[in-house]
Structure 1
């Protein structure tokens, strides 16, 4: 593998920093962009990340707050920001790529855009037209904090062009990270976004039942069945729903206190109002916004989603947290 590879990482949060470090260890030149000037300065000066214990950013990673300094002549772009900011950043990146070869583009961000109901990859292709069929999603059962600590991690790299996927997999894979190629990009993106919604519901169950796993398991089965139905109804594949980016990601995110979405739901299950629960978590709870877009997307396609509807009514309409038991197949209490 050639070592004179340039990588642009957009967003130096937990995922951006973790992947920047892994790719720098492969000998690549990594240029990271971070909006938060305080965080960027900390990464530059201390080479550590407050949310990643024991993490050290390699010397091969440069950190900038100016986008044009991070996107110079990349072979690979990693989009690792909150999905709500993807469109604006992709729009700003597009002119920076004019007259240059089109890089491989991989989204680590997961989400569905309000209004358009486009996935992250679809948004980037809309804003960077030359990147059509070269835009991929990395998703699956993975916590950045564990990968950063060296835990063997298997995720999915999904794209429309299998040749592009294989080339990009070879660029990214290494160390503790193993990537499984997938051609069902839409199914993989839906799994990566919707699992955050179900994780909120699973957290509510956990809070209600004081961590009783019996009811949580019943809820996860109902959630997995609904997730599969959504993916298939929108054109994804059954295998994707039951694979790493569907069931695998759901099992991880909806059962662990490392998941912000799970912790958010647990706070609600223990009696906290959703607004107060959000304050407790402090960082972005993807499932909170994803609830609205997931519900709208499914309504547009005529897909019935009793589990998502139940979680939405608890979070946005003030229904009792105990009503989640109906979605798990139990009567309400």
Structure 2
């Protein structure tokens, strides 16, 4: 993607946001708190496009902004928006979410274009959790593909994953219906079925036999699903929610569990009714 030659850049954060009414925060989740704390005086609209969960607090990035940028009107923009397709003006849709009246609509007006349709939501936590949790599931989907499994397996994974995401989200105060929308099912679908997804690619390489730590050391892009698996697992334990898929991805990535053993343990669980 070629950036405009006259696009200004600024290393000083204070100068970068001086006079701005809206800032978009696209910072890796591991550095999100540290960087945004330097913008504590900003009092405009702060839009997070980072999809992650902070391990120590269990907060989404919007929750972190509530602490680090207390004067800002916090919002999130999320959905099935693969960056390369958006940059190429391929039709896409997303959700602008905020708990503050009128803020989501402001973000909608800023970003809405003929090829980029923006909807609004008041369910900030639900929209953000959908975006964060789907990265964990995408790793599992990629691993499934790397093992040579077919579309039946992936469809089953995605369907059961959305139920898992919804359970955890509702336990955290989100609306169940949010997970059937663009930021839930929409984002989950594109991330689990597209070879453009970094998290899917990461899982695919694991499925082909590579070690997670080796892949990460070799990667120049951020794989948010890796730290999010640990944060989501911890959040589910805190909220006492059953998340079998997230549990196995966590064990595989952070406890060294063999991929095929994780798959076996997932598929041989006791029978139950569909929820």
Q: TM-score under structure 1 normalisation? A: 0.77
Higher relative contact order (CA 8 A, sep 6+): 2
Structure-to-structure mapping, 1:263-282, within 5 angstroms: 263-282=201-220
What is the match of residue 165 of structure 2? Answer: 227
CA RMSD of aligned residues (A): 1.7
Alignment partners' CA distance in 1, 2:45 and 2:255? 42
For each residue in 1:155-195, what CA deviation from the matched residue of structure 2 results, as whole angstroms up to 9, or x when unmatched?
01011024121122112222421111001100011001111
Residue 146 of structure 2 is aligned to residue 169 of structure 1: no
Residue 242 (structure 1) aligned to one of 157, 163, 180: 180
Q: Could you say which structure has the larger radius of gyration?
A: 1
Cα deviation, 1:202-234, whole Å, max 9, x if unaligned, reads: 11111112x521211111112111111111221
Aligned to 1:66: 12
| Alignment equivalent of 2:35, drawn from 89, 94, 97 | 89
Instruction: Quote the residue 1:114 is aligned against.
Output: 55
Q: 1:222 to 1:323 in 2, by over 3 A?
A: farther
Following superposition, the deviation at residue 301 of structure 1 comes to 0.7
Partner SS state of residue 147, structure 2: helix
Unaligned runs of 5+ in 2: 270-275
Matches of 1:276 and 1:62, distance apart in 2 = 36
Q: How far, CA to CA, are the matches of 2:143 and 2:57 in structure 1?
A: 29
1:130/1:244 Cα in 2 relative to 1: closer, same or farther (>3 Å)? same
Q: Which residue of 2 aligns with 1:47?
A: none
Q: How far did residue 313 of structure 1 move?
A: 1.4
By how many angstroms is 1:68 displaced? 2.3
* Deviations 1:71-114, CA, capped at 9 Å, x for gaps: 1111111111112222122211124x3xxxx2111111121112
Question: Does the 8 Å CA contact 1:310/1:323 hold for their aligned counterparts?
Answer: no
Q: 2:137 aligns with which of 198, 218, 221?
A: 198
Equivalent residues in 2 for 1:140-219, closer than 5 Å? 140-209=79-148, 212-219=150-157
Aligned to 1:62, the other structure's residue is in SS state coil
Alignment check: 8 A CA contact 1:218 1:328 kept: no
Q: Distance in 2 between matches of 1:115 and 1:269?
A: 29
1:132-143 equivalences in 2 (<5 Å)? 134-143=73-82
Aligned match of 2:45: 104
Secondary structure of 2:23's partner? strand
TM-score relative to the length of structure 2: 0.92
Between the aligned partners of 1:273 and 1:294, the Cα distance in structure 2 is 21
d(CA) in 2 for partners of 1:107 and 1:170? 16
Map residues 282-301 of structure 1 onto 2, 5 A cutoff: 282-301=220-239
Q: 1:147 to 1:328 in 2, by over 3 A?
A: farther
Residue deviations 1:31-62 (CA, integer Å, cap 9, x gap) = xxxxxxxxxxxxxxxxxxxxx3xx33263x31
Which stretch shifts more, 150-159 or 313-322?
313-322
Please give the secondary structure, in 2, of the residue aligned with 1:283: coil
Q: Distance in 2 between matches of 1:90 and 1:317?
A: 31
User: Unaligned regions of 5+ residues in structure 1, if any?
Assistant: 1-51
| Alignment correspondent of 2:200 | 262
The alpha-carbon deviation at position 327 of structure 1 amounts to 6.7
Matches within 5 A, 1:294-313: 294-313=232-251
